[in-house]
Amino acid sequence: MSDLIALRTIFPVWDAIGHGTKRYPHDLDGVVRVPREVAIYLLHNAGYVIHDPSSTASAEDDDMISGLTP
């Protein structure tokens, strides 16, 4: 089992997220793999969700956007 947790950003990202003195790069799909203590911070404070590889990001984004528009 990996010690890293995969998170996906809910907003567009450039390249990496910084936490403390470390930087964690995103892949092309906006997924970043971080240690548990960093994941907890990002989930609560930085606009990340736990990455579910069985779902598509665009479908989730469409659902989120439709819930925000009147």
Question: In degrees, to the nearest 5, what angle opens at C-alpha 14 toward C-alphas 26 and 31?
Answer: 25
For the chain, the domain total comes to 1
Q: Which pLDDT belongs to residue 20?
A: 77
Asked whether the predicted pLDDT for residue 59 surpasses 60, the reply is no
CA distance 36 to 24: 13
- Judge whether residue 62 has pLDDT over 80: no
Give the range of the structural domain holding residue 62, as residue numbers without chain letter.
4-68
CATH number of the domain that 27 lies in?
Answer: 3.40.5
pLDDT score of 42: 86
pLDDT beyond 70 at 3: yes
User: What's the whole-model pTM score?
Assistant: 0.65
